[in-house]
Structure 1
Amino acid sequence: MFSESDKSNIIERYTKRFEKHGHSPISLGWDKGKQMLRYLVLLDKFKLENKKILDIGCGFGDGIKAIEKYTDNFTYLGIDVVPCLIDEANRNNNRENVRFLCSDFLCDSFVEEFDIIIGSGIFNFKLKDEQNYDFIRKVIEKSFKLSNVGIAFDFLSSKVDFKLENTFHSEPTEILELFYEYSRNISLDNSIMPFEYTVHGFIDNFFDKSDTTFSSFKSSQIYQNAIKLEK
């Protein structure tokens, strides 16, 4: 979990942004307006129909707009440690299938499980009292334990020529190793934005030994096309 000092810094940072910018991606640190793109990339590898989704560090809950591009049939819980962001999310929520809670993912217990767990931008803030990799490891571990289908997070890459003082840029290979501790079925995508990448981890590791292909992939159009071409 966050130290009290790190948590206070995060709450203060985003509260000041919200007081200045209101309900805007700028309040969440997305100054370049790519918030929806990030969410769509996080969600694109999952079948979202009738799924229960947990959005860690949900901010205003804007990720719901991205989910609704795929399906209207879902259940959503958004959590964030910043009270004013959750208050704003609740003020704008009129959906019965959507809930928002002010919650610390690592500190709080969850009696329910989720199909899909996502988080956008939650690892971008450089912590002072804890190693960022330790924090990332704990979030990944708990997410895999609570998820029935898979998890997805985005990261700032270390493969950059400029870093801000308060941002954390992770080494992609180290993040991959953390994911591989819990699943073989992993995807890292650095093909969308040059200085950010997204990692998906899937619970279903089962594969057919006759062709060493993940069973979950066999319903994909790519696999079906390959089978047709090989006949």
Structure 2
Amino acid sequence: MTPITDADRDAARTLWNYNVLNQRAHPVSAAVALGGCDIGVATAVAELYRAHLFPTVVFTGAVTEATLGRFPRGEAVHFREAALALGVPDEAILLEPRATNTGQNIRFARQVMEDAGRRVDSVLLVCMPYMQRRAYATCRRQWPEVEVCCASQQVSFDEYAKAQDDEVEFIAMMVGDTQRVMEYPSQGFAIEQEVPDRVRDAFEWLCKRGYDAWLLRD
């Protein structure tokens, strides 16, 4: 693939600004920390817990092909350990180690809380920044009874991109998330989201430029 250009980063920034919802976190019944490739999710959980926004958090995520090298014992297990090290007490944590996609993250975390006797009418989804829109849309479809908002580490696109081991992979993953926002409603996985033309144009540009490793294939 050719080196990342300024035009590529401008398009990626457009996708970032679309997928990061900038919702205001507020006190909720529980949090669900979604698995992924970014251990910063656990850092965000610790910060939000210290702000007294929730009494309980479910870490959810299995061993997946995408994160096996980084989290060989499973995303939820590693994220939980990181949160414990940052001061989140063990009694505030529930573990869901089986989910391999976002729909399962939501459904299985819901079941874990029900099994633990937790009554939940509002939930805070803690995830990677660029995953917020997809997580929100998925939860609205899979768990429509709860009020939902999203939170992540407070970081800009440029800061996040510079912190990645592989910026090309990061952009490709964001392209994949954006495609899922567009495609999953018709498959019943998520609610419909408005996708402005500027976002579609940025998505198509990045696909043509070769950032397509995480696209859904027919």
Same fold (TM over 0.5): no
- For normalisation by structure 1, the TM-score amounts to 0.37
Tell me which structure has the larger Cα radius of gyration.
1
Q: TM-score, normalised by structure 2?
A: 0.39
